[in-house]
Amino acid sequence: MTALRSFLRYGIGEATRGGPAYHLWMALLTLLMCVGLFAYCVQLDQGLAVTGMRDQVSWGFYISNFAFLVGIAAAAVILVMPAYVLEEMDFKRAVLIGEAVAVAAVLMAIAFVVVDVGGPARLWHVLPGLGRMNFPRSMLAWDILVLNGYLVLNLGIPFYLLFTRFRGHTPDRRRYVPFVFLSILWAVSLHLVTAFLFAGLPARPYWHSALLGPRFLATAFTAGPALIILILVAIRRHTEMPVADRTIEKLAMIVTVAAQVCCVMSISEIFTETYRSTHHSHSARYLFFGLDGHNRLVPWIWSSLALQFAAAGVLSVHRWRQRLPVLLAACSALVVAIEIEKGMGTIIPGFVPEPWGKVVEYAPTWVEFAVGLGIFAMGAFVFTVLAKVAIPVELGKVRYTGPV
């Protein structure tokens, strides 16, 4: 217990200590969170009418970001497999970062669902035991369980590893490896369940496709590791944590293959929806070409596809991929491309046209942007704290020396 208390005291101390740049960064994030909180208060007061959503497009920016972030969270454990299963030492350090990204992403995903519901005060109705969860019928009930389970796993495993190291012991493989395997399985099912949430609705032909699940995984395994590459390079530059080139190279390889798969899936989808276009292709036609003069999403989806194909092409050439500036540019392009595709390009067109064929377009309002910004700031805040506390322990710089 003393060791635990000392660990927590170290954690709080470490999170609140730092240079001017660190404090400025955290102050900026806090400010953004306050902006988001203000916008959320406006929304609570006046109702979801302050968003761009209406009966025809009843999910928007919030649920789009939820889907994107669940993908990021799921993909973060792609690092876990080689590290613990294949015992790759250089990967092991990156894993802690990956798990911190997963925790931050899950928290952001949960936050995006919470701000989307009309009655957040009644959310206790979903709690098992207290409320009446519609399990196993509702995929949303599944998603609530899977998301929270994933959060616990990704907090638990790094906590065990760091705490053991903090006490100067070596982590016991028999204790954590089973959970590592579980979390890998969990990550895949987490994102599949999220895809099934949409794919299980025959009412929305654009989502009701067997490709949606695999496509969610492919985009996640592109954007997730791409984001982690960007973060690892930033960490290598700004902290003392060494990140081996080999780690970055391996991650880049994962990103490349996943991005290629994404391209194949995009082509497959465009072909199926356009070669013999039916009523069920109206959403896809709206997305890619516009429908009855409504074409708000068209520039977005083509920019996304252009970025995705260009990045996948560049990364496919070994010599280009090995040059860091090129890699970083390609990874940024992929993160942006997939955020657009999964958000604006997947969730919104599911609702357009509405079930009786009318086209009602959707655009987020300032409230949605501000709330979203606040949630992203919250995620960055959580990640910064987790990484800042974890890195010195991982590097063996802090040790518990008191009584056991």
Partner 1 sequence: MKNGLVQILSQPMDRRTAITVAGCAVAGAATAAASVANAINPFASPESREASRLEWQRYFQENYRLMSEEEKTEALLRLERLHQLKHGGRISVSGAEPIEKVLFGYAFNVSKCRGYLECVSACIRENNQDRASGMAYIRIHEHRNGEFDFSKASDTFDHPVPAEGHFYLGTQCFHCQNPPCVDVCPVKATWMEPDGIVVVDYDWCIGCRYCMAACPYDARRFNWQAPEVPEADLNPNQHYLGNRMRQKGVVEKCTFCIQRSRDGRNPACVEACPTGARIFGNLLDPQSEIRWVLANKKVFRLKEDLGTDPKFWYFMD
How far is Cα of residue 118 from the mean position of the Cα atoms in its chain?
A: 23
Give CA–CA dist 153/301, Å, rounded.
Answer: 35
Residue 375 near residue 61 (C-beta atoms within 8 A): no
3-state secondary structure at position 93:
helix
In this structure, the chain runs to a length of: 404
HSE of 175, CA atoms in CB hemisphere, 13 A: 10
Q: Interface with partner 1 includes 130 (CB under 8 A)?
A: yes
357 interacts with partner 1 by CB under 8 A: yes
Residue with smaller CB distance to partner 1, 201 or 298: 201
Does 353 contact partner 1 by CB under 8 A? Answer: yes
Which residue stretch of 42-50, 79-87, 187-195, 369-377 sits at the interface with partner 1 (rule: CB under 8 A)? 42-50
* In the complex, minimum distance from the CB of residue 57 to partner 1, in angstroms, rounded to a whole number: 10
Q: Which two tokens stand for residue 66?
A: 């939820």
> Which residue, 49 or 234, has its beta carbon nearer to partner 1?
49
Min separation Cβ 245 and partner 1, Å:
45
Sign of CA dihedral 354, 360, 361, 363: negative
Closest CA to 298 of 208, 218, 215, 361: 361
Give which of 3, 40, 50, 71 is closest to 262, Cα–Cα: 71
Shortest reach from residue 170's CB to partner 1, in Å: 31
Task: For partner 1, give the closer residue by CB, 34 or 127.
Answer: 127
CB of residue 211 to partner 1, shortest distance in Å: 19
SS3 142: helix
Q: Interface with partner 1 includes 136 (CB under 8 A)?
A: no
Binding of residue 48 to partner 1 (CB under 8 A)? yes
Q: Does 352 bind partner 1 (CB under 8 A)?
A: no
In whole angstroms, give the CA distance from residue 401 to residue 71.
Answer: 40
Query: In this chain, which stretch among 129-137, 169-177, 309-317, 366-374 interacts with partner 1, using CB under 8 A?
Result: 129-137
Is residue 21 a contact point for partner 1 (CB under 8 A)?
Answer: no
> 173 phi and psi, to 5 degrees?
-55, -40
Number of residues that bind partner 1 (CB under 8 A): 53
Over the window 269 to 288, marking each residue x when it contacts partner 1 by CB under 8 A and - when it does not, the resulting string is ----------x--x------
**Residues in 176-235 that interact with partner 1 by CB under 8 A:** 197-198, 200-204
Q: Which residues of 377-392 are buried (b: 16+ CB within 10 A; e: fewer)?
A: bbbbbbbbbbbbbbbb
Name the segment binding partner 1 (CB under 8 A); options: 123-131, 165-173, 324-332, 368-376: 123-131
Among 39, 69, 74, 113, binds partner 1 (CB under 8 A): 113
CA 200 → CA 137, 147, 371, distances in Å? 11, 18, 28
* Residues within the interface to partner 1 (CB under 8 A): 46-49, 51, 53-56, 58-59, 113, 116-127, 129-134, 137-141, 144, 197-198, 200-204, 279, 282, 350-351, 353-358
